[in-house]
Structure 1
Amino acid sequence: MERRQLENLFGMGSGYVLDFTNYTFSNFFYDRRVNIDAKRYEEDGASKAKRMRTFWDVEGNHVVGRVIDGLIKYATDEQCFGDSDPLLINDCRKIAQRLLSDQPVTELDALTAIANEKDFEVVAEHVREAIEKNQPEGGLDRLHTFVNKFIRVTCESHGISITRDKPLHSVFGEYVKTLREGGHLESAMTERILKSSISVLEAFNDVRNNKSLAHDNPILNYEESLLIFNHVAASIRFIKALETKIKARAKAAEQQAARFPWDESIPF
């Protein structure tokens, strides 16, 4: 029933999809990291509608939901729906949201670059792509690279020195100490959780070197790879939120000092 609703909304009965040409159809999918021109999507035919149906068959729910959501937004902006039933459009939006909720890594959106560095952005995209394809075991080496970059950029803003010889878990240990001494952690439990991540990061080096595609290794199994992704993503989401609060407080303090530049040497 959902397929019929989507096909009706996107006008797929004649082999087309909305107002796309082959060129714009390919570009739309390319922007969402999908090569819709690949042979795997042409098993039942090469028309845009047939490739779309095959795409629905072979890809995971989250990837399909992301594309459907993008198609609805595109069609709305380009006024492609014409006199389509608003209830149908709303039902298809709900389909997209349901599919988008089927995500093996719940905090995947946290795995984004935090510095304007091309290599940081590229590795972040590759990490997300591994999850969107439901292949976490194939993305462990890139996740390790991402975590290194993320921690380096985060620690540099706190004046923590970064050297090639200093291991990642040692750098993170200094970061946790800085958070504690700066009064940025409200509970002992949060500090314990972050401290446990120090040993987790140390173990991550072994996974990267001996159980990932970084070298010619037998890679880690799917379930344990997914556990690593979820743990890392949840930790990064928390650190991003915490850093946002720290920066906001620092900015507020600067503004307060600028408004009231009292000379503390005056004894009254």
Structure 2
Amino acid sequence: MKPIEQAIIEDLFEMGDGWILDFNNDSLQKFVKKSIDINIYKDENYTDYKSKAKKMKQIFEEESDKKVAKLLKDLIEYYEGYAYKNKKENRKEEIDEINKVIGRLSKAEGFSIDVQNNISWKKLEEEIEYYMKKDNYEFILDRLHTFTVKFLKYILEKHNIQSKNQKNNNLPLHSLIGNLKNYYIENNAIDSEFSLKAISINISLFEKFNDIRNNKSYAHDNIILNKIESEFVIRNIINTINFISNIETINEEKEFHLL
């Protein structure tokens, strides 16, 4: 959160003297607990005595972006009732600015998962770009395949979809994305026929990616795929992962706004 944004928040919620609007200790404790399931007086790291405003600033500094966004969203709703009851002036500009902060924070974490050696997709994508500039495609092909398998398994498990067959063996990459496509269809998660068709095409592409990883990368003692085709494969896989990641983020936001 930028300093100017925090200043607007502190001003709107009247935090200057250690207070927050008309909350007392008990009502603020219950409000925060209901909003983001944190007890600001009993939970770990929150037991030290602080003013209500400092407790709120601690949440801003220490909790996840999505929790802060959820709490700010609920505080805006509370403020609107408070302002009406106390005949306060319309602070639409400030509320609009805070809503922008809420929107950004609710997306900031995005669909971030630590699936390989605690490396998130964002960090891995940066690493891929770094190695591509150095023409180290043989390294990327194997690494990206490993990540893609774990990435899809994570999403399937998140949606309670099988990632193993009846013999409890892991499904191949193309079967994982096939199961995910079926989930998206059943839950109306994708709007356009184009996108569904693109995912269907990617099922067969992911099957070929298995072959490239096994027979044309450093996963084994192989002759490595040439630079031009390696980059073409990598770009296609990255685009698909980013698309799925964005679809998951959008659906998470829909759930967030329903809270």
Using the TM superposition, name which of 231-240 and 124-133 deviates more: 124-133
- C-alpha separation between the residues in 2 aligned to 1:236 and 1:117? 13
Question: 1:186 — aligned with what?
Answer: 191
Relative to structure 1, is the Cα distance of residues 160 and 196 closer, same or farther in structure 2, using a 3 angstrom cutoff? same
Question: 1:236 — aligned with what?
Answer: 241
Question: 2:114 — aligned with what?
Answer: 116
Percentage identity across paired residues of the two chains: 33
Using the TM superposition, name which of 218-227 and 133-142 deviates more: 133-142
| Structure 2 contact 174–207 (Cα < 8 Å) conserved | yes
Residue 135 of structure 1: how far off its partner (Å): 2.2
User: Residues 97-112 of structure 1 correspond to what in structure 2 (within 5 A)?
Assistant: none
Give the aligned residue type for 2:208: A
Residue 136 of structure 1: how far off its partner (Å): 2.0
Question: 1:153 — aligned with what?
Answer: 154
Residue 138 of structure 1: how far off its partner (Å): 3.3
Q: Could you report, residue by residue, the CA deviation over 1:98-128 in whole angstroms, capped at 9, with x for unpaired residues?
A: xxxxxxxxxxxxxx99323552518937544
Relative to structure 1, is the Cα distance of residues 251 and 146 closer, same or farther in structure 2, using a 3 angstrom cutoff? same
- C-alpha separation between the residues in 1 aligned to 2:183 and 2:242? 18
Give the aligned residue type for 2:240: S
- C-alpha separation between the residues in 2 aligned to 1:211 and 1:117? 24
- C-alpha separation between the residues in 2 aligned to 1:157 and 1:138? 29
| Structure 1 contact 113–121 (Cα < 8 Å) conserved | no
Question: 2:217 — aligned with what?
Answer: 212
The reply to whether residue 246 of structure 1 matches residue 244 of structure 2 is no
Question: 2:145 — aligned with what?
Answer: 144
- C-alpha separation between the residues in 2 aligned to 1:165 and 1:153? 13
Give the aligned residue type for 1:161: Q
Using the TM superposition, name which of 128-137 and 147-156 deviates more: 128-137
Q: Which runs of 5+ in 2 are unaligned?
A: 1-109
- C-alpha separation between the residues in 2 aligned to 1:188 and 1:157? 24
Relative to structure 1, is the Cα distance of residues 154 and 128 closer, same or farther in structure 2, using a 3 angstrom cutoff? farther
Question: 1:135 — aligned with what?
Answer: 136
Kindly report the root-mean-square deviation, in angstroms, between the aligned alpha carbons of the 2 structures.
Answer: 2.3
- C-alpha separation between the residues in 2 aligned to 1:135 and 1:252? 43
User: Residues 160-179 of structure 1 correspond to what in structure 2 (within 5 A)?
Assistant: 160-163=161-164, 164-179=169-184
- C-alpha separation between the residues in 1 aligned to 2:252 and 2:143? 28
Give the aligned residue type for 1:185: I
- C-alpha separation between the residues in 2 aligned to 1:222 and 1:193? 24
Detail structure 1 runs of 4+ shifted over 4 Å in the superposition.
none
- C-alpha separation between the residues in 1 aligned to 2:253 and 2:153? 21
